[in-house]
Amino acid sequence: MCSFTKAIHVSLAITFLISVSLTNIVHGFDAKAVIDSPLLTQKIGTNRTIKVDLNGNGEFKSVQAAIDSVPEGNSQWIIIHLRKGVFREKVHIPPNKPYIFLRGNGRGRTHIVWSQSSSDNVESATFKVESPHFIAFGISFKNEAPTGVAYTSQNQSVAAFVAADKVAFYHCAFYSTHNTLFDYKGRHYYDNCYIQGSVDFIFGRARSQYHSCEIFVISDKRLAIHGSITAHNRENPTDNSGFVFVKGKVYGTDDVYLGRAKGPYSRTIFAKTYLSRTIVPQGWTNWSSGANSSENLFQAEFKTHGPGADTEYRAPWSKQLTEEEVDPFMSIDFIDGTEWLPVWL
């Protein structure tokens, strides 16, 4: 075989491999490296749309009014399209209104904002979802209450309370100072989201996968302790919950732990994630785990990289996982995603 023919064969082989790789980028779906609004709309298969526009160019001016118009026990996907603007209201998806797709015009253009601190995390939340089969795309959720005083009734200021099964956020943002994202319970997927906070700002007992998310740490000068990005609560070994961060990056303006163990079996994993110097060398803390021993904690990393990924001074009970150990968590099957997600990366 002449060298020219060999070159053609090599070129065709490379083209085939690239094609196969791209096809597998979005498992079982279109070969797109980015999940966008048209793709989500296509996958849920509906054209039922309620428009919400602050200027009156839609069916409603209020997000909550649009949600209230959805029939109880709704069994087919319905799109609530939020046009650009700042919707200053508390928003609640109640338990009896599934199959809502809350679609914004982009997290820099569509905002749901409230300002409330409380001794009760749920009460303070700007946005609450308690119904299964919910999707949000391209929306910023923000609690703009000023940083409260630690250990007082003005401490909690949640941006979003996620308390339902089969919930997904794509290209959304969550802003607060303390307790930003209350990832309470259920199976959840966060794709290309931005999450900002200082102390325990991703917390709860959900089974969640965060794919290619951007985590930004801001300063909290109220306490003489380091804050933490996560505070996952897992009370027993049969609980299948956990927070798993795949790819993405962590950076910011203050020093934090990757996670604070909440519960004796707390489980959090950062895999293939960029860590800036904002991560303290110890990496993890077992403070308030409620356990006499740290042996059952599962605070782990896999191939994290960047200046905050140095393992020399990591907490001795934290784990550096092998490929075999991390595979079940990095798979979308960790949240049974093939059964309910319209699309994933």
CA pair distance 158, 316, nearest whole angstrom = 32
Classify residue 187 as exposed, middle or buried by CB count within 10 Å of its CB (0-12, 13-18, 19+).
Answer: buried
254 is a catalytic site residue: no
CA pair distance 191, 248, nearest whole angstrom = 10
Judged by DSSP in three states, 246 sits in strand
Q: Who's near 20: CB < 8 A, 6+ residues apart?
A: none
Closest Cα partner for 110 from 166, 77, 63? 63
Q: Do you know the residue count of the chain?
A: 345
Judged by DSSP in three states, 113 sits in strand
Catalytic entry in 120, 200, 220, 336 = 200
Contact in structure between 265 and 289 (CB atoms under 8 Å): no
Catalytic residues: 200
